[in-house]
Every structure is written in structure tokens, then in C-alpha cells.
Chains A and B, each alone.
Chain A
Amino acid sequence: MTHPANDLHLIKKDHLTGLLRKLMKTHRLVAPVRNRHGDVLFTAIHDLDAVSFELTEPPQNSLKEFFLPQEEVLYTYKVTGKTGYSFQPSSVEVPATVYFGAHPCDISSLLYMDVIFTRNRRDPFYLRRRRGSLIIGINCNQPAENCFCNATGSGPFLELGSDLQLTDLDDRFLVEAGRAGGRAVIAEWPAFFSPAGEKEQALRYQAFLEARGGFQRQVPIEQAIRRLREGTVPDEIWAELSLRCQDCGGCAYLCPTCTCFTITDRPLAQESGERIRAWDACTFAGFTAMAGGHNPVPSGEALRQRFTHKFRDDVKVNGRPGCVGCGRCVGACFGGSDVIRFAKQVTEERGKGAGHD
């Protein structure tokens, strides 16, 4: 339900472009757009009048790359003379950005990343991108084929976490201002907004019920979490999932909550180079391999870490799974060893499938 503290407003769909144009005077705009090849992607918008937003079909990419780039220079280093070896942090100018049209799964993943990158230490590289960000989310009236945010508690409607949260009410959006950033937008551009009342609240609830009933997949996440906590997942299930996993890393790269990375030096010249942070995947054997050859994770067992991290360790530390139910890994997995299959297999009596060796 709507959070009682959220101010409720309305904006007509026709007026959305006008509001975004105002915001673009002081912000960069990133929103989901369908490109000429038919792919929907979060894209930086330059010409507001040349695009039409795709707000229903989930974008193939998530917000992750805007806050944790696939590759990022952390430092440049220099060797000078015989004893000089120094590092300079990279200075990247990240403009204030409006992220418009993000679904509850992706916003939930952003909240997850906030915890990861500020909990033990405050990561300056993440924070300089997060600080100037304004999130205008949109609730999902129509879950897509692989969606299961209902099972992970991260959708289809978002209670808290975005600056402004929109609900599609046909010709207008209900606007909930969940944070100070959102309230500031309404205060700065009141022309676009009109107050909403009980009628719209009721419509929102109606839309929420329909969305909740619109999931094509029933994914037993809670039971999977329980089985992992109890430690009662038979080895054969891990073995079969691992056999299917084709070691492509696609799940981790697409996953909005996979934040594991590696750090490497990239030489630019004999006396200088860059220290780079890049996305990595725990499903790669090399993720844990040590110099000298020993690998504490035996060959073929890396996939287990993916699921125990998201559905056991994250639950223990954060009280909720790391997975946001966006379904991207399901569409991408070559072997069919994605989250949905995992959840179904660990909660079935006996893992089904081939592999009669």
C-alpha cells in the first residue's frame, strides 16, 4: 500500500516530457528506450523529442553500469626514477543524473548496492555517482515473462526507495514522493503536478492487485531460502546445476545485484599505468584461484557460491535475499542453471533431469 508519509500527486502523461525537459536543464537523463534493433536499454538521452520511452518491457541492462561501471579506472600510477612509485586517484566528473523509468526490481538493486558500498567502508567511486542521482521509478502493472519480484519481495510495486515513484493510471501517473529529492522536484516544478486523492489511491491499489496476479512464474524463493539455511540441499542438485552451467558469466554481468569485481593493473607505458576495477563473477574458476595453482573451490563447484551468497548469506546479513527477481539471468543462461531453476530444484523432492553417469 502507499506509505502514509508519501505525498500524493498526479501528473498527466502528456506533461511528463515537459517535466523531464525542466530536469534536463540541471541533470543528465537516463531512461529506457527501444533502439532500432528492438532492444530496450537504459540509455543516456540527448534529444528528448527524438525518443519514446519504453516503460513496460524490462530493459536488458540494469542501473548497475551507471553506478558501478563494467570497467572503471580507480587510480593511475607512475614510476619515477629509482624510488618513485605513486598513485593518483582518478577524477571523473559524474554529472547529476535523473534515472527515469526504473522498475521496482532495479530500484531495489540500487538500494542493495547502497548497502554494499557504504556498509564497511564508504566507497568514493560509487558515492560520487550515487550522490547526484535522482530516481524516478515506475511501478509494474504488467510483470514480464521471467519476473518473480513478488517472490523476492522487491516488487511489483515499490513502497520506499525512489525519489519519485510513478504508477500508471492510464492517462496519468500517480506520483509518490518518497524522499526529499522527490519532494524537492515537486516543489520546484509545481505546474506539472496536481494533488491526488482517495480515488487515485484506490486505483493504485487496484493496479497493484492486478499486477500481483499477473506473474507467469511461481518461484519458491522462501522455501529455497529455508532449505539453504537448514543446509539440506543434496549434493546432486549442486552437481546437476553445475554441470549445466556453461561458465559464461552472463548471469553475474547482467544481474543488477552482482557487485563482485576484480582489480588489475593495466600498463600504459613503461613507467605508468592504470589500476582498474572490473566486473567479475564468482562462477568463474579463476575467481578464487591463487598464484601457485591452488584453488580452494574445487572444479565444477563455483556455481554454488552464486546461490548461497544471494539466498543464504545476504538473508543472514540484510534480512532479505540479494536477488530482486528481475529474471535477466533466466533469459541469458545458456545452460538453464538460472535462479528459477535453482529455486525449483532445491524445493522439489528429487532433482529431475538427465546426467545419468
Chain B
Amino acid sequence: MAGLATTFGSGAMTNSINEIERAEVILVSGSNTTEAHPQVARRILDAVDRGAKLIVIDPRRTRLARFAHLHLAIKPGTDIPLVNAMMRVLLDEGLADDLFIEMRTENFHALRDMLFRLDLDEASAITGVPLPQIAQAAGLYGRARKAVICYCLGITQHVCGTENVQTLANLAMLAGQVEKQDTGVAPLRGQNNVQGACDMGALPNMLPGYQAVDHDDFRLKFDRAWGARIPAEPGMRLMEMTHAGANGPIRGMFIMGENPMISDPVLDRVEETIRGLDFLAVSDIFLTETARLAHVVFPAACFAEKTGTVTNTERRVQMIRQAIDPPGHCRPDSEIISSLSARLGFPLDYDSPAEIMEEIAALAPIYGGMHHDRLEKGWGLQWPCWDRQHPGTPFLHKYYFTRGRGRFVPAAHTPPAEPPDSDYPFMLITGRVYHQYHTGTMTRKSERLNRECGKAELEINPDDAMDMGIRHGETVRLISRRGELTVSAFCRNQVAKGMLYTSFHFSDTPINRLTIAALDSGSGCPEYKICAVRVEKLRSKP
């Protein structure tokens, strides 16, 4: 988000998901799309059926990578040199869209100077991708009439995540593949309503509708509407809150629908912080590992038990409607917050979620025309939707970027915070598997999903396994500077030598004990994708 905000002016997906079908070239980076976003993957496959070319940048040989015309098996954390090299090839081959650059962008000279100083052979060596492949990818993307870039957590979960995104944005602008139908840059958001949460200002520096908290006009508007005095300084980021230690500045927390005891890096630190709090309240639908440590637990209603809206990666606001009653004492989060607020002396008196939406429409201009009666029909509306007559915005930056002109922000390679070394010679990548979701709070209750994938597996290259005498299915010890655990080895040809991959879904294999809290400075996102580990055989037989 931060990356696109600085380049385009807005952090959301530029075009719409259905436009992906009509692209001629699709560049997917850091996204295991078939497993994480099957609906988007369907569009990609449809596009390929129509003759589109698919380029996949991923250190792992995922299903999508096997399906691609071109798979760049990049070394983790080297996206910037790779995309910079691609841009250099575009320049060398005269494939840059000069007119677009001239009319619609700024700061090109800084990018161009940086690109001309690039050593392509060095870029190839750093990324592990042969130069002919880089050139082929660049050629495909640069020659396409309509090309789309899709990216996901493989791009953002790095210390240079923001720069990674900026570099992709640079590429799109250089080739003129933005601001047009069936083109653009598509960040694929990680959860159903994470876009909606950001839209509503669940960010330390933003009020609803991306109105910055340090911008006096915006802040005073909300002060007036809410009868409050909102602080002008941005608040803390997630990692600052959960990694502050037992005596951090935050003494009490209310955690809603998040399980940092499993999902944050350096879990020991998280546990220390949370146990050190004076007060913890948690709202969730199951008693998670975090909820177990709380002084008060609010049982929450799940998606099928409440009415409201969710906003997805293509900025589409859609209704979800209550289908069953919440069990026991579970209540929707809006009711929990309202009750709590009343006890704290500030009554919130909403008769319905529709009424809450009316207030949102009044205060957040991009949601200006969002009302439940409009959203009831069809498939919802995409913001910006300025008023009741506005039909929503399928694609952003049509004719002009949100910030006026798109800005090139050149970036240089930032090595990972903790690359492998002689003590910890393997690079551990963490991510997801198809059958489980996040910390498994919901999915690990399903007998069928557990049957398909019921425990954590450490993907290891078969050659590495053979060198170490590790058999498929053998339990091994995995160790990093921050912790260790045992896990089942899975010898599959999906990771390259020297790399390992596992998921974070299984609380009995809490991989985040091993991951590192190195943060991207722009977004605060931890480098889940890279840390250094070593593998040891267990002394006794498995």
C-alpha cells in the first residue's frame, strides 16, 4: 500500500479483477495465486486460454509457476535488481512508452540514471535468474498492448517491501501499462476485508477514507463529527505494540480477530509483551492462543452471523448478510464496541449496520455514495464512489493518477536482514498452504481440511535432503537465532537448493518462533519471507 501510495497516489488495486482476463501479458510476482486467490487465478487461466502469456516470478516452483510460459526462479529478496534489470532491457530495446512517461509521470530522469548505471550481469548473479530469461520477460511485458502485474506477500513481506512495490510501479509506468483498461498493478490482499479495514482507518496514520490524521482539516472534521480530540500524531504500528517487551509503553490492549501469538514474528517476544500487559481484552470467534491470555474475552459473531459489508482487493464493497443466529452470547463486533463505548461514557447509538454506513458515507468521501440499499443490488460498488449517483470506479487513475502525475521512485537492492551464513546455512521462507488459513483458528476445526493437510511440513529440496540423509516424512529439528522446533520434512521439487519453505498455520509448529522481526520501514511489515536457519536430524529414530 505504502509503495503504491507514493508512486500512484493510491494504495489499492488500479484496475478490476475481471480485466485480468483480457490482458495479453500477466506478470505475477510473489503470489501463489492458485492457492491464495483462486478466483484471480481463474481469470489468469482464462487469459492464458485466450492466448495471453504468463510470467511468474517466484523462488518456488508453485502450481502457477509450472503453468507459466516463463518462470523466473528468483532468489528471495532480489526483486528490485530483477525488475530494475527488466526496466533496463526495456530502455535498451526502445520499449519504454516515451509519450506516457512524458505526459503522465515525473522524476523519470532519476530512474533512467539509476538504470543506466546497472550492471546486468551483476543483476543476473544477485537474482539467480539467467540474463536471457530476464530479457525475455522484459520483452514480453514491454511488447504487450495490455499487461497486468499481480503481486502479493512475496513482494511485501521483506525489509524492502515498500521499495519492491515502488519498483513494480516504476515498471508499469515505464511501459505505459497503467491508466488503461485491462492493464495496471494489482496487489492481491491477504484477507477478505483487510482492504476494508484499511479503508476505515485501521492504520496508525489514517482516519477513514485515507484522510491523514496529521492533516488538520481532516482531523478537525472528525473531531467535530465525533465530539472528540483526536491526537495529531500517528499512532504505533503493530510490531511496535506487540514487540515492546513486558514493560512497553502500551499497558492495555483490545485485540479483535487477530492472533499475534501465532502470526507475529519472534513469538517469544510477542508472548513476553502480551503477558506483561496490565490488561488484555480479546474479541474472537474461537478461543485462540491470544485469547487464552486475555483477562476478558468477547465472543464475536462470525461472517454468517452478522450483516454488513466487506471490501476486497479491487476496492469492491459488497454486502454480507446474516444467515444464522450467533451461538450463545456471541455478538457482532459493532455491538461489542458500542456496548464497551457506552460503558466508557461515550454512547454509540446505531440501530443497524446500515446506519453506520450512512455515517461512513458522510465522512469518507471515497465511500460517499455507499449505502446499503445501493449495495443490496448486484455485486456492490467499487470506490471511489463519491455520491448516490456515482456508479463506482472500476479502474483508478483513468486519465490521471490520484496524485496527479505518477512518480518514479528508483530503488536499489536491499539485501535481506538475515541472509544465510555458515552457522545458519538455509534460507527459510514462510507462507501459506492451500488447505489451511492463517493461524488455523477456523480451518483446523474442519475434519476434511485436516485430512488433506493436518500438520506443518517443511519443504526441502530433494538434493539437499539426500545430502543430509533426510527421508521424506522424517521429523527434523529446525533452528534459527531466535528459536527452534521440530517439523516433518517434505522432500518435494518445489524449493531450490539452500531454501526451505513452511507455513505458519499450525500452532503446534509455531514457525514464527524462528522468524525475524526485521521490518520494512515504509509499511512496518516483517520480513516473513527470509530468515536464516539450520536443519538437524533428530538423534533418535523418528
Contacts and interface: CB of A to CB of B under 8 A. Distances in A.
The reply, when asked whether chain A contacts chain B directly with Cβ atoms under 8 A, is yes
Contact of B447 (A264, A284, A353, A356): A264
A280 B451 CA distance: 11
A246 B452 contact: no
B39 A354 contact: no
A212 B19 CA distance: 35
Interface in A268-314: 278, 280, 284-286, 289, 293
A293 B473 contact: yes
B438 interface: no
Interface stretch (B65-73, B119-127, B351-359): B65-73
B69 A335 contact: no
B71 A336 contact: no
B452 A354 contact: no
Interface in B19-74: 34-35, 38-39, 41-42, 45-46, 48-49, 54, 63, 66-69, 71
B399 interface: no
Contacts of B66: 243, 355, 357
Contact of A246 (B38, B49, B447): B38
A353 B473 contact: no
Given A293-B473, A334-B41, A247 B69 contact: no
B275 to A, nearest CB: 32
B226 interface: no
Contacts of A285: 452
B473 A286 contact: no
27 contacts: A243-B63, A243-B67, A244-B45, A246-B38, A246-B63, A248-B38, A262-B448, A266-B447, A278-B448, A280-B448, A285-B452, A286-B448, A289-B451, A293-B473, A334-B34, A334-B39, A335-B45, A336-B42, A336-B45, A336-B46, A353-B48, A353-B49, A354-B67, A354-B68, A354-B69, A355-B66, A357-B71
Contacts of A356: 68-69
Given A293-B473, A353-B49, A334 B42 contact: yes
Contacts of A336: 42, 45-46, 49
Given A243-B63, A336-B45, A353-B48, A286 B452 contact: yes
Is the contact region of chain B dominated by helix, strand, or loop, or is it mixed? helix
A156 B38 CA distance: 33
A286 B63 CA distance: 19
- Label chain A's interface by main secondary structure: loop
Interface string A226-238: 0000000000000
B434 interface: yes
Given A246-B35, A284-B448, A334-B39, 9 more contacts: A244-B67, A280-B448, A284-B451, A286-B448, A286-B451, A335-B34, A336-B46, A354-B48, A354-B69
Contacts of B434: 247
B486 to A, nearest CB: 17
A22 B296 CA distance: 57
A305 B305 CA distance: 38
Interface string B130-158: 00000000000000000000000000000
A353 B66 CA distance: 12
B472 to A, nearest CB: 9
What are the 7 closest A-B residue pairs judged by CB atoms, nearest first?
A286-B451, A286-B452, A334-B38, A334-B42, A354-B48, A357-B66, A246-B34
A274 to B, nearest CB: 12
B374 to A, nearest CB: 15
Contacts of B448: 262, 278, 280, 284, 286
Nearest to B71: A357
Q: Which of A266, A354, A357 has the most CB of B within 10 A?
A: A354
A293 B35 CA distance: 23
Nearest to B63: A243
Interface string A43-86: 00000000000000000000000000000000000000000000
A246 B448 CA distance: 16
Nearest to B488: A293
B238 to A, nearest CB: 31
Contacts of B452: 247, 284-286
Contacts of A353: 48-49
Interface string A335-357: 11000000000000000011111
Interface string B464-494: 0000000001000000000000000000000
A293 B457 CA distance: 13
A353 B46 CA distance: 11
A335 B49 CA distance: 11
A262 B448 CA distance: 9
Given A264-B447, A335-B45, A355 B67 contact: yes
A356 B65 CA distance: 10
Contacts of A266: 447
